[in-house]
A and B are shown apart, each in its own frame.
Chain A
């Protein structure tokens, strides 16, 4: 367990004391260089640079003029720092005291990079965080003595925990890298999906245009029958169905993914189509009667005499076959609701229905003859 007692309730020096930095200007007067007094009005692309030695800002021209020939003293009154051209950069923050603070934090963070898992309890971790924060505060706005002490602590810690620091640095880098990759992948995936959606919409439009064309064609050929319309309806339905199937598959894949990893970005691999079973001409329909049971030896006085009539037997006529069919016909209409059927609109035309019923009637007649 790492431990370093946090500095309890010790009051941190209020910032009024000595900190040389508290007087740093906020670049609110962003429009005038404090050194050469050029204003933005005269030089549109004026750019300001700072040097982390003292964080005094000045325009690029001044920097070039003063420091191109080698190190020089900072032109600010009262500032004794010697600055080099190399050290100048533009500031990220508008408030230069924050800029400085962040620079210090960068240094501290490089050393104090423990993570929560390194600690036994959350409280220890929080205490550690506070200790680091106190130290940073000392560095940023402490008195000279505090700052020196903090620097010493920093160095000491660095020496003591070299291995840990190195390990955490690597881990941190990796984690960053990973999250960056994840973000990138996610963005890419989102883009893909957007394209996909666009394509889909496009296709749909095309499909619609095509079906309209087909309709017009068929009209042009004078084939105004319901047939054409049905074809068209079917095609439209087909497209929708295809889409639905696709969506379902996608959803299933997505659902399967949930359990695995939360990386949304990874491309979905095409799954091999499921192996096809043996061919089934009836498409899975099952003719085993569900409403009644056939018993062997079922009989009826009406057919009893034919069982011995050679005219019937010799031909190989099967009476069981006959019974089965009779039963089937007796129950055939049950469970069919005309209303429902009508809505679905099975493709039977009236003519077809008529022939079928005629066929049934014929069968019935023959039976009666028997």
Chain B
């Protein structure tokens, strides 16, 4: 269908649209507002309502309509989400081409790691992504090509070298390329899909890739540096974005990694000696370049530069490398000293937490290493590795980690903390020291993004409370909005169970979580819901530890045997393979009528990214508020930082964090409009936290359902399931939860009328009535539509879309 938002014509590839997105001040309008204003926004939109396609269709319309042709950078979390978005985009462009009658000049590409895109027969078989990267680099580095040209016998990658034969701005024809399509095209034309995508990024209208390409400074520097300022950046599924930011800047150093770094330094030294004998000139050249400054040494960094470096302030890049690490051998000795220092620090047997300045002061006192050369460490190492023309880069990974750490610790005074934990746990006897260099401030990693791009859109199905994100990530917004769903029938039933059948309150707070009565009440709750839930049921626990203990207690109480009568029981474990096996079995059991319960953890892999649509999840039971483990020193440090810097109180943050995970869990079962499910929050404490749930869940939560005992919950769940069992035709939804063209136009007219009225009222109030034209311009907006006939599409198709969204 086609409609207008203000003056912008939008083509939407489906005949119906959910009203939630069309109401005045709603998703598209807000999006457009944000783009017009060139600012940032935070938008929450229920999961499974076609968020991706809405976003894409508006932004593509925007791109094509306005002359500025702003590029869209769409970031998602996982490879499958990227692929889904690409498929949506492809469908959208096809639809546009049909409607408009011609193909637009348009290119959309996705990018993921080499591991997924490599075609080289032996490289692509490597298991680890790091190894693929490293091996690819050693086949594609600039000097390898030089050597080849000189006639030396070196291994190269034909897929890569073929690219050089093509026109640099037209490596791949116009159109939208899914990752799959890209691979196929690459295979046909014998060209590397990874480098095709990377090099074509400048010439794309839409780029879809993972967060890391923007947030991880080590990657962003190389991959995303050529993108222009007016790009539109979208972070989808962004409820966890702060953690991604933090992780991208944090490192852990262990004794083992230090040992391997020493080995790396040793072999660097050998290489230097070798080279001095054979090719003195190269070292000399490097030296001379370094005297001039880092950038000069780098020849505008090649795309395949050996190692990646953390963010450096620009002035640093222009500055010359400090004199005492200019020479290769000086630098290696410097690294050695630094590593030895770290080793000594690791010997301490008590927990230490210190700030970067105090670390640097101590370092200087004992090793005479100054802050400044330390900042240059990572860059200097990159340059050296390139000069030495090393090929087996995997071996230098740990050394590079140490160098990155050195650079970060010397660059940032605030927002980081060093925590040395000599023992893995409080009870451990054998020391296994880890030096955590942890980033406390999510804003640091994302700051360059906000600085570089004018419009950044952060969106997710569960991103409440909205104001937390701008606070934590330290950015201004134009729009913050949460949209609710309108449903023709209640398709999900959220409930808060606070008491067991015996009226004793249930909770997983520390004082009571292991009391047999509480455990038994939880057990009964599980049994009751296992009885009434059709097909699949997912249960979330706050932690693995608690899950294990409660399961063994249930075993003793015979509760599991009871549940077993109704459902197969499957358990998530920290092991990815075991878990995926469990999931597979679970799916089978859900499909064949046996039914199953999946017991998993609210912060585990299942809670993020695995959908339990339709029969795969009819009930989600959240046992306990999924608080983080507060005894973690890193978390404590972060809490303190948040309080000091952003005035976010500990409890507020913990509660926010717990509730966003709970919301994520709940959102797992409802992945589309025809889906239905029960959402049970089982903890006394949820009652007070109700307002922290996303708006669309909170709205559906009736006051009567916020303080239930097990038996009450079961009976209202029964009633709900009964209504769900009634046949429900797609037509019933029309006009209420989906709109076709007619409805939409009516709505827009109504909105326009209201706007006109408002304007008139305003005019009446003012002494000089404004010219009538002003009001008239708004009338026009509502009438520009054509009269397409709609709906030969079947509701099912729309649903299929939702499941993908």
- On A, residues with C-beta under 8 Å from B are 6, 9, 11-12, 14, 92-95, 98, 101-102, 105-106, 109, 122-123, 125-133, 137, 176, 179-180, 183, 186, 190, 193-194, 197, 201, 247
- List CB contacts (< 8 Å) of B716-737 with chain A: none
26 CB contacts below 8 A, A to B, read A9-B284, A11-B276, A12-B327, A92-B366, A93-B340, A93-B341, A94-B343, A94-B344, A102-B368, A109-B368, A122-B319, A125-B323, A126-B321, A126-B322, A129-B322, A129-B323, A130-B324, A131-B323, A132-B324, A133-B323, A133-B324, A133-B330, A137-B329, A176-B361, A193-B644, A197-B643
- List CB contacts (< 8 Å) of B320-341 with chain A: 320-324, 326-327, 329-330, 333, 336-337, 340-341
| Interface SS of B by simple majority | helix
Nearest chain B CB to A5's CB is how many angstroms away? 12
Nearest chain B CB to A253's CB is how many angstroms away? 14
Q: With contacts A101-B333, A122-B319, A130-B326 known, is A183 near B368, CB below 8 A? A: no
- In the complex, A249 Cα to B273 Cα: how many Å? 64
B337 x A102 contact (CB < 8 A): yes
Of B276, B280, B336, B361, which is within 8 A of A179 by CB?
A: B361
Q: Determine whether B69 belongs to the interface, using a CB cutoff of 8 Å to chain A.
A: no
- In the complex, A131 Cα to B330 Cα: how many Å? 11
In the complex, chain A residues whose CB is within 8 Å of the CB of B340: 93-95, 98
In the complex, chain A residues whose CB is within 8 Å of the CB of B287: 9
| Interface SS of A by simple majority | helix
Q: Determine whether B583 belongs to the interface, using a CB cutoff of 8 Å to chain A.
A: no
Q: What residue in chain B is nearest A126 (Cβ atoms)?
A: B323
Nearest chain A CB to B61's CB is how many angstroms away? 37
Q: What residue in chain B is nearest A140 (Cβ atoms)?
A: B333
How big is chain B's contact interface, by range? 35 or more
B357 x A179 contact (CB < 8 A): yes
B367 x A102 contact (CB < 8 A): yes
Pick the most buried of B319, B324, B640, B650: most chain A CB atoms within 10 A of its CB: B324
B273 x A14 contact (CB < 8 A): yes
A93 x B344 contact (CB < 8 A): yes
Q: What residue in chain A is nearest B336 (Cβ atoms)?
A: A98
In the complex, chain B residues whose CB is within 8 Å of the CB of A12: 327, 329
- In the complex, A190 Cα to B347 Cα: how many Å? 28
- In the complex, A132 Cα to B273 Cα: how many Å? 22
- List CB contacts (< 8 Å) of B277-323 with chain A: 280, 284, 287, 291, 319-323
B357 x A183 contact (CB < 8 A): yes
Pick the most buried of B329, B341, B647, B650: most chain A CB atoms within 10 A of its CB: B329
In the complex, chain B residues whose CB is within 8 Å of the CB of A197: 643, 649-650
Nearest chain B CB to A115's CB is how many angstroms away? 10
Of A98, A105, A122, A179, which is within 8 A of B320 by CB?
A: A122
In the complex, chain A residues whose CB is within 8 Å of the CB of B651: 201
Q: Determine whether B573 belongs to the interface, using a CB cutoff of 8 Å to chain A.
A: no
Nearest chain B CB to A328's CB is how many angstroms away? 21
- In the complex, A247 Cα to B284 Cα: how many Å? 60
- In the complex, A326 Cα to B733 Cα: how many Å? 58
Closest 7 CB pairs of A and B: A129-B323, A126-B323, A130-B323, A133-B324, A129-B324, A98-B340, A105-B368
- In the complex, A47 Cα to B357 Cα: how many Å? 31
- In the complex, A123 Cα to B321 Cα: how many Å? 10
In the complex, chain A residues whose CB is within 8 Å of the CB of B640: 190, 194
Nearest chain B CB to A316's CB is how many angstroms away? 39
Hey, what's the 0/1 contact readout for B362-382 against A, CB within 8 Å counting as 1? 000011100000000000000
B323 x A137 contact (CB < 8 A): no
In the complex, chain A residues whose CB is within 8 Å of the CB of B643: 193, 197
- In the complex, A93 Cα to B342 Cα: how many Å? 9
- In the complex, A125 Cα to B336 Cα: how many Å? 24
Q: With contacts A93-B340, A98-B340, A102-B368 known, is A180 near B361, CB below 8 A? A: yes
In the complex, chain B residues whose CB is within 8 Å of the CB of A201: 649, 651
Q: Determine whether B355 belongs to the interface, using a CB cutoff of 8 Å to chain A.
A: yes
- List CB contacts (< 8 Å) of B239-285 with chain A: 273, 276, 280, 284
Q: What residue in chain A is nearest B283 (Cβ atoms)?
A: A9
17 additional contacts (CB under 8 A) given A126-B321, A133-B323: A9-B287, A12-B329, A92-B344, A93-B341, A98-B336, A102-B337, A102-B366, A102-B367, A123-B291, A126-B326, A130-B324, A133-B330, A137-B333, A176-B361, A179-B361, A183-B355, A194-B640
- In the complex, A94 Cα to B280 Cα: how many Å? 33
In the complex, chain A residues whose CB is within 8 Å of the CB of B329: 12, 137
Q: What residue in chain A is nearest B287 (Cβ atoms)?
A: A9
Of B326, B337, B355, B358, which is within 8 A of A101 by CB?
A: B337
Nearest chain B CB to A4's CB is how many angstroms away? 12
In the complex, chain A residues whose CB is within 8 Å of the CB of B336: 95, 98
In the complex, chain A residues whose CB is within 8 Å of the CB of B326: 126, 130
- In the complex, A187 Cα to B281 Cα: how many Å? 51
In the complex, chain B residues whose CB is within 8 Å of the CB of A125: 323
In the complex, chain B residues whose CB is within 8 Å of the CB of A128: 323
- In the complex, A6 Cα to B644 Cα: how many Å? 48
In the complex, chain A residues whose CB is within 8 Å of the CB of B368: 102, 105-106, 109
Nearest chain B CB to A29's CB is how many angstroms away? 15
- List CB contacts (< 8 Å) of B475-523 with chain A: none
Q: With contacts A14-B273, A92-B366 known, is A126 near B320, CB below 8 A? A: yes
In the complex, chain A residues whose CB is within 8 Å of the CB of B324: 129-130, 132-133
- In the complex, A197 Cα to B647 Cα: how many Å? 10
Nearest chain A CB to B471's CB is how many angstroms away? 14
Q: What residue in chain A is nearest B357 (Cβ atoms)?
A: A183
Nearest chain B CB to A346's CB is how many angstroms away? 24
Q: With contacts A122-B320, A133-B327 known, is A190 near B361, CB below 8 A? A: no
Of A98, A127, A180, which is within 8 A of B337 by CB?
A: A98
Nearest chain B CB to A291's CB is how many angstroms away? 12
In the complex, chain A residues whose CB is within 8 Å of the CB of B361: 176, 179-180, 183
- List CB contacts (< 8 Å) of B201-226 with chain A: none
In the complex, chain B residues whose CB is within 8 Å of the CB of A179: 357, 361
A130 x B327 contact (CB < 8 A): yes
In the complex, chain A residues whose CB is within 8 Å of the CB of B291: 123, 126
Q: What residue in chain A is nearest B330 (Cβ atoms)?
A: A133
Nearest chain A CB to B63's CB is how many angstroms away? 41
- In the complex, A137 Cα to B269 Cα: how many Å? 14
Of B280, B330, B341, B358, which is within 8 A of A11 by CB?
A: B280
In the complex, chain B residues whose CB is within 8 Å of the CB of A92: 344, 366
Hey, what's the 0/1 contact readout for B626-656 against A, CB within 8 Å counting as 1? 0000000000000010011001011100000
Of A9, A127, A137, A183, which is within 8 A of B330 by CB?
A: A137
In the complex, chain B residues whose CB is within 8 Å of the CB of A93: 340-341, 343-344
In the complex, chain A residues whose CB is within 8 Å of the CB of B322: 126, 129
- In the complex, A109 Cα to B370 Cα: how many Å? 11
Hey, what's the 0/1 contact readout for B390-418 against A, CB within 8 Å counting as 1? 00000000000000000000000000000
Nearest chain B CB to A192's CB is how many angstroms away? 11
In the complex, chain A residues whose CB is within 8 Å of the CB of B280: 11
Nearest chain B CB to A93's CB is how many angstroms away? 5
Q: With contacts A102-B337, A197-B643 known, is A127 near B323, CB below 8 A? A: yes
Q: What residue in chain B is nearest A91 (Cβ atoms)?
A: B344
- In the complex, A36 Cα to B336 Cα: how many Å? 31
Nearest chain B CB to A240's CB is how many angstroms away? 13
- In the complex, A5 Cα to B280 Cα: how many Å? 21
B276 x A190 contact (CB < 8 A): no
In the complex, chain A residues whose CB is within 8 Å of the CB of B320: 122-123, 126
- In the complex, A176 Cα to B366 Cα: how many Å? 14
In the complex, chain B residues whose CB is within 8 Å of the CB of A98: 336-337, 340
Nearest chain A CB to B509's CB is how many angstroms away? 16
In the complex, chain A residues whose CB is within 8 Å of the CB of B358: 183
In the complex, chain A residues whose CB is within 8 Å of the CB of B321: 126
Of B319, B323, B367, B647, which is within 8 A of A6 by CB?
A: B323
Q: What residue in chain B is nearest A182 (Cβ atoms)?
A: B357
Nearest chain A CB to B17's CB is how many angstroms away? 32
Q: What residue in chain A is nearest B329 (Cβ atoms)?
A: A12
Nearest chain A CB to B33's CB is how many angstroms away? 26
In the complex, chain A residues whose CB is within 8 Å of the CB of B323: 6, 125-131, 133
